[in-house]
């Protein structure tokens, strides 16, 4: 140990050298500064990495919006490397992978977020998308419900949940969900359209029409919503309301409104998922038939069917319209195509019987009518026409039976009543 005398000597030596004291203090100060500088530098690097991560994330989103999904994936991965705590970076990665058809990798991206303790409504939603694509609808529904609980105003989460309910056959639950939340989401007509479709599935035509009108109020210039509304009105038998909407969506820009000159067949597109051309033309033609304007019905359906011969239901309507206008050749050709492409057999045989009857081929007409009644014994018109045809063949007893069957089904049917009266006179 140092003696007291040695300590006093050292102290005197230091006090006589003030410069040395200052230097010693500077060394101590520098040492403390070095110790404090390390965490400050780390914090600065973290801040800088966070800024760069956000920039990379923004770049990833821009790539995704342009359909550059590989680039979006790479940018989102770089963002995650710089700042692993960003939920959106994992979500962008998962979205890009889904677009690229890499379902398992998308799932791994979401799992990586979970392993980091990162959760968000969007990640739950994307997890649901993956499950839905795998056909695990019940599990997907749970994820969508979780996403909506985290973000109740997101339209995608609400509609995804409702669509799952529809796929599970829970139409009433889906409709109730949409009705209850229509004002709580960021409305953009999507909810109204889905609610209208669900109401239609439930057979609630009036409610479906109301929902389509609500959708149209949000997007008044949308031709697709006008189509949906027109189709629903036609299904409900409200043809005078349906015709203007359907006519507007089938008349090409610059061409006259119906009735008028038809555009060339090449101007018509074939059916597609996003634009149900066939359904529109069939509904429009059917509406004109319903209001006894067979000429316009034939004028609308003919050019459409020139490019869509496979539309059996359209051919059936065209046959009916052609028969009503007296064009038996067009009617006969159309009914053959209707039968070939799967139109309902009773309807096909009934139109065939009308054509044969008009051509004076009573026996062939009677054979077609018996085929109709084999499918549907309660077909009132077929029974009435069969009675008429058989009376022309002088088969009065069979004719009377046919008229009596029609009257049993429709006691006030004038056709059957008149037919029986004439038979009794003979």
Share of the chain above pLDDT 90, in %: 59
What local confidence, expressed as pLDDT, does residue 129 receive? Answer: 94
pLDDT band at 37 (very low <50, low <70, confident <90, very high): low
The DSSP-derived string for 366-401 is HHHHHHHHHH-TT-HHHHHHHHHHHHHTT-HHHHHH
Q: Evaluate if residue 46 carries a pLDDT over 90.
A: no
Q: Evaluate if residue 268 carries a pLDDT over 50.
A: no
pTM: 0.72
For 91-149, the pLDDT digits (tens) are 888 888 888 889 898 888 888 888 888 889 999 999 999 999 999 999 999 999 999 99
Structure tokens at 406: 């029609």
Q: Which of 271, 218, 213, 223 is nearest to 247 (CA)?
A: 223
Alpha-carbon distance 208 to 194, whole Å? 10
Q: Which of 336, 353, 327, 230 is nearest to 286 (CA)?
A: 230
Structure tokens at 218: 């949000």
Q: Evaluate if residue 8 carries a pLDDT over 80.
A: no
Q: Evaluate if residue 47 carries a pLDDT over 90.
A: no
Structure tokens at 113: 């977020």
Q: Evaluate if residue 172 carries a pLDDT over 70.
A: yes
Q: What rounded mean pLDDT belongs to the chain?
A: 83
Is 396 exposed, middle or buried (CB count within 10 Å of its CB: 0-12, 13-18, 19+)? middle
What local confidence, expressed as pLDDT, does residue 12 receive? Answer: 45
For 301-330, the pLDDT digits (tens) are 999 999 999 999 999 999 999 999 999 999
For the segment 224-252, the average pLDDT, to the nearest whole number, is 90
For 105-116, the pLDDT digits (tens) are 888 888 888 888
For the segment 215-236, the average pLDDT, to the nearest whole number, is 92
For the segment 260-281, the average pLDDT, to the nearest whole number, is 49
């Amino acid at each position: 140990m140092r003696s007291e005398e040695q300590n006093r000597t050292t102290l005197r030596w230091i006090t006589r050298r003030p410069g040395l004291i200052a230097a010693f203090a500077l060394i101590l100060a520098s040492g403390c500064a070095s110790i404090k500088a390390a965490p400050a530098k780390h914090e600065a690097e973290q801040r800088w990495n966070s800024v760069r991560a956000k920039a990379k994330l923004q770049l990833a989103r821009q790539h995704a919006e342009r359909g550059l999904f590989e680039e979006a994936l790479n940018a989102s991965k770089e963002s995650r490397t710089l700042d692993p705590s960003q939920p959106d970076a994992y979500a962008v990665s998962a979205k890009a992978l889904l677009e690229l058809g890499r379902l398992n990798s998308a799932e791994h991206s979401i799992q990586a977020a979970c392993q980091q303790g990162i959760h968000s409504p969007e990640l739950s939603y994307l997890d649901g998308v993956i499950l839905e694509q795998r056909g695990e609808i019940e599990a997907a529904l749970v994820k969508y419900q979780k996403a909506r609980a985290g973000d109740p105003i997101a339209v995608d989460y609400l509609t995804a949940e409702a669509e799952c309910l529809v796929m599970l056959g829970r139409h009433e639950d889906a409709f109730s969900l949409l009705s209850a939340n229509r004002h709580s989401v960021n409305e953009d007509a999507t909810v109204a359209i889905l609610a209208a479709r669900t109401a239609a599935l439930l057979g609630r035509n009036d409610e479906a029409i109301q929902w389509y009108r609500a959708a149209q109020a949000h997007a008044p210039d949308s031709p697709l919503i006008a189509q949906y509304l027109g189709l629903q009105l036609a299904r409900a038998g409200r043809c005078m309301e349906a015709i203007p909407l359907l006519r507007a969506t089938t008349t090409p820009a610059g061409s006259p409104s119906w009735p008028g000159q038809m555009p060339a067949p090449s101007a018509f597109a074939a059916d597609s998922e996003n634009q149900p051309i066939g359904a529109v033309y069939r509904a429009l033609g059917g509406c004109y038939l319903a209001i006894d304007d067979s000429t316009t019905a034939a004028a609308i359906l003919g050019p459409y069917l020139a490019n869509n011969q496979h539309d059996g239901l359209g051919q059936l309507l065209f046959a009916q319209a052609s028969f009503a206008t007296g064009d038996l050749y067009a009617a006969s050709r159309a009914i053959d195509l209707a039968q070939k492409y799967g139109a309902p057999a009773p309807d096909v045989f009934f139109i065939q019987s009308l054509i044969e009857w008009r051509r004076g081929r009573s026996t062939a007409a009677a054979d077609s009518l018996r085929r109709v009644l084999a499918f549907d014994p309660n077909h009132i018109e077929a029974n009435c026409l069969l009675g008429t045809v058989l009376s022309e063949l002088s088969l009065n007893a069979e004719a009377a039976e046919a008229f009596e069957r029609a009257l049993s089904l429709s006691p006030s049917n004038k056709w059957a009543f008149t037919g029986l009266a004439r038979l009794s006179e003979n």
